[in-house]
Structure 1
Amino acid sequence: MNKGAAGPVFIYDEEEIHYKFNENHPFNQDRLTMTVDLLRKSGALPDSALRKPRSATDSELLRVHSQAYLEAVKALSCSVPEERWVREAARFGLDTDDTPYFAGMHDITAKVVGGSITAVDLVMSDKAPHALHLGGGLHHALQSKGAGFCVYNDASAAIAHAKETYGAKVLYVDTDVHHGDGVQWGFYTDPQVCTLSIHETGKFLFPGTGAVNERGEGEAFGTSINVPVEPYTEDDSWLECFSEVLTETIARFQPDIIISQHGCDAHALDPLAHVHCSMRVYKAMPELIHQLAHQWCEGRWVALGGGGYDIWRVVPRAWSLLWLVMSEQAVLDQLEAQPQLALPQAWLDAWQSKSPVQLADTWLDPVETWAPIPRRQAIAEKNRHTKELSMLYLK
């Protein structure tokens, strides 16, 4: 841990659940409430670890978004926007089923961005070794366009803040099943920022980008790394690709801080993608990031949320495991000894009646009961080839 730093911090405000498009939208913030409840009922989230986010200022948003886009988001945040702005919504990507404008969106999204910037400030000023902001991770928003459930790009704003306020070299690690396109394009020519995204190949999945040949431009060539894995990729292949590429990338790039995005939609139960990982990945992946943060950047690590659309069986467990790893909870030792360790009964009792599906009742998945994936070997070999290509020009 950093000298003088207290324990890791958990940035959360119940208001963040109001980042919500409509009642039927797959981006459902009940997952945040359920995760916090699971951590509290596990005895893993004391009040002393909690910090409130602040709102990002316009100047902080303008580091990564255009003035015209900010004006459009603010205008479309009115309960009844002016007709001329409604006509303009399409130009700014805010009229789609994925990312429709909603009342109050500027204020609540500015708070999400401010939470991720707060996380960077706490870590870079040595007030905390690590910080987790699960409300963040809105990685698809572009400079002048909302996309993929994302209005403002808090991950990009956090990176820009670390770079401009602290002069930090930033390694951004994106483990969402969807390519971290907004962040990649935001820093595509910036040699001070390295982006690494492991995701389902864009041949089959939104946003269609993230091929291995997207490597950065100019002085930044070699600082954009993409590992597009095949549909139905399982734990062993996913972890092999992630571990080798991340370990090699960080050794070459030697960042001052890691900012990671933790969409948990590469899980087999997620309804919006086709990767077939289990909860094991969501324990092993933060363990590696944690270890490398201490090895290469004095522990400086900011983690953000992201996608995840099985809000009942996947997100609360995956995000809780991230915090358990980040805060080095004793329950991890129990999990090593007892892989089928049960979730707290009080949490299951609180949420089962609300869930349309049977909740998972253990921290990790009973993968030995899952049907084997056909073509497992062929998928692993294709991923191995992709992994080698992704590392060809590392800087």
Structure 2
Amino acid sequence: MTNRKQPVFIYDERETQYKFNDDHPFNQLRLTMTVDLLRQAGALPDSVIVTAQAATEQDLLRVHTPAYIEAVKALSSPQPEERWIKEAGRFGLDTDDTPYFPGMHEITANVVGGSIHAVDLVMSGEAPHALHLGGGLHHAMQSKGAGFCVYNDASAAIAYAKEKYGAKVLYIDTDVHHGDGVQWSFYSDPQVATLSIHETGKYLFPGTGAVNERGEGEAFGTKVNVPVEPYTEDESWLECFSEVLGELIARFQPDLIISQHGCDAHAFDPLAHVHCSMHVYKAMPELIHRLAHQWCAGRWVALGGGGYDIWRVVPRAWSLLWLVMSEQALLGQLEAEPQLRLPQAWLNAWQGKSPVQLVDTWLDPVETWSPIPRRQAIAEKNRQTKEIAMMYLK
């Protein structure tokens, strides 16, 4: 291996083929748009981009059952056999959310392979950090697809890090939907800590992630959930996230951080009700970056995830993640000029394709947003939840 000693960006255009149908909200055009934005900003040279091999059967079997993998393969055929079509429901692959599609095994195995390769690069010391935006499919269960997720690349990457490197892994999930698939995969495993901050399951899929889900047996206290209220804004979200993460990482002291960066807690996202701005998507990775260097020699793998306003939110949020991870000079400009504009060439390229007016600055002009009427009550309820979440961390 060459010694890169710089963060790597794992990207393969084949991952844009992870597509259920033309009307599905999971639209991988967001990957293409993010890569284009970073290139237009001068922040993504070819030298940092790497591709990965597809996951092996062994990689998948660490977190999925043989029967489920067999079903995914069979339903990946352009014309699946009738017996497998009848079985699709048993494996969660016949729903509007997660319908089977041609080639899904090969395409999703590539996604899993990318996240595993990210672990190898970081744990081997070839790179301090690795970003794989095609990953983050955190809802898939051991024997069931769910929530737009066929194979769970995050769980597979964690299991690989444990098996190959003996690593203690802290998994951080900032998607607006609870990171259920990963939590349940390691619910009784004391070598894996999980922190999920998400909109309360009272109102949102998957309905789990209550504050009293804490792990079981020797792993009790290593699974932490912070279910925030609908219409939570930046300040309250960041207060909950930073305090709980600080306590958890100090107690757990991981060898590796794997974080999932769904950006659907943004106010513009059509599938949820949290009201954060782009400020969160700069401040949150800055905190993870700092803590990675403080507690685990900088070892940090970041994955993508949800995000369904592909025009105004995802490219900016994911680009900010990479700017932070790779310590781009552009961040200094942004500090000096909070309303710094996006590259005009990118705006010109995508505005004609977008059904909405693109936001033309890196950060949101939140001062123009209508205030949330129940701000104080929401913040207070979140503060109470945060204190309960930290009950076993102090």
Range into which the TM-score falls when normalised by the shorter chain: over 0.9
Identify the residue that residue 182 of structure 1 maps to in structure 2: 181
Inter-partner Cα distance in structure 1 for 2:392 and 2:95: 37
Structure 1, unpaired ranges of 5+: none
1:70 aligns with 2:69: yes
Inter-partner Cα distance in structure 1 for 2:123 and 2:168: 12
Identify the residue that residue 218 of structure 1 maps to in structure 2: 217
Identify the residue that residue 199 of structure 1 maps to in structure 2: 198
1:369 aligns with 2:347: no
Inter-partner Cα distance in structure 1 for 2:266 and 2:53: 32
TM-score by length of 1: 0.99
Q: How many residues align?
A: 392
Instruction: Give the letter for the 2:301 counterpart.
Output: V
Identify the residue that residue 23 of structure 2 maps to in structure 1: 24
Identify the residue that residue 266 of structure 2 maps to in structure 1: 267
Instruction: Give the letter for the 1:255 counterpart.
Output: P
Identify the residue that residue 291 of structure 1 maps to in structure 2: 290
Identify the residue that residue 132 of structure 1 maps to in structure 2: 131
Instruction: Give the letter for the 1:106 counterpart.
Output: H
Inter-partner Cα distance in structure 1 for 2:244 and 2:386: 7
Identify the residue that residue 93 of structure 1 maps to in structure 2: 92
Q: 3-state DSSP class of the match of 1:270?
A: coil
Identify the residue that residue 118 of structure 2 maps to in structure 1: 119
1:209 aligns with 2:199: no
Instruction: Give the letter for the 2:49 counterpart.
Output: L
Inter-partner Cα distance in structure 1 for 2:248 and 2:230: 24
Identify the residue that residue 328 of structure 1 maps to in structure 2: 327
Identify the residue that residue 83 of structure 2 maps to in structure 1: 84
Inter-partner Cα distance in structure 1 for 2:310 and 2:393: 36
Identify the residue that residue 239 of structure 1 maps to in structure 2: 238
- The alpha carbon displacement at 1:191 in A equals 0.1
Structure 2, unpaired ranges of 5+: none
Instruction: Give the letter for the 1:256 counterpart.
Output: D
Q: 3-state DSSP class of the match of 2:163?
A: helix
Q: 3-state DSSP class of the match of 1:199?
A: strand
1:346 aligns with 2:345: yes
Q: 3-state DSSP class of the match of 1:259?
A: strand
Instruction: Give the letter for the 2:289 counterpart.
Output: H
Q: 3-state DSSP class of the match of 1:109?
A: helix
| RMSD of equivalent CA atoms | 0.7
- The alpha carbon displacement at 1:192 in A equals 0.1
1:57 aligns with 2:70: no
Over residues 237-282 of structure 1, what are the superposed CA-to-partner deviations in whole Å (9 max), with x where a residue is unaligned?
0000000000110000000000000000000000000000000000
Instruction: Give the letter for the 2:342 counterpart.
Output: L
1:166 aligns with 2:165: yes
- The alpha carbon displacement at 1:5 in A equals 5.2
Inter-partner Cα distance in structure 2 for 1:51 and 1:262: 20
- The alpha carbon displacement at 1:393 in A equals 1.3
- The alpha carbon displacement at 1:394 in A equals 2.6
Identify the residue that residue 278 of structure 2 maps to in structure 1: 279
Runs of 4+ in 1 over 3 A off after TM superposition: none
Instruction: Give the letter for the 1:258 counterpart.
Output: I
Inter-partner Cα distance in structure 2 for 1:119 and 1:360: 31
Q: 3-state DSSP class of the match of 1:171?
A: strand
Identify the residue that residue 39 of structure 2 maps to in structure 1: 40
Indicate the percent of aligned positions where both proteins have the same amino acid. 83
Identify the residue that residue 255 of structure 2 maps to in structure 1: 256
Inter-partner Cα distance in structure 2 for 1:347 and 1:6: 29
Inter-partner Cα distance in structure 1 for 2:130 and 2:352: 32
Instruction: Give the letter for the 1:76 counterpart.
Output: L
Q: 3-state DSSP class of the match of 2:77?
A: coil
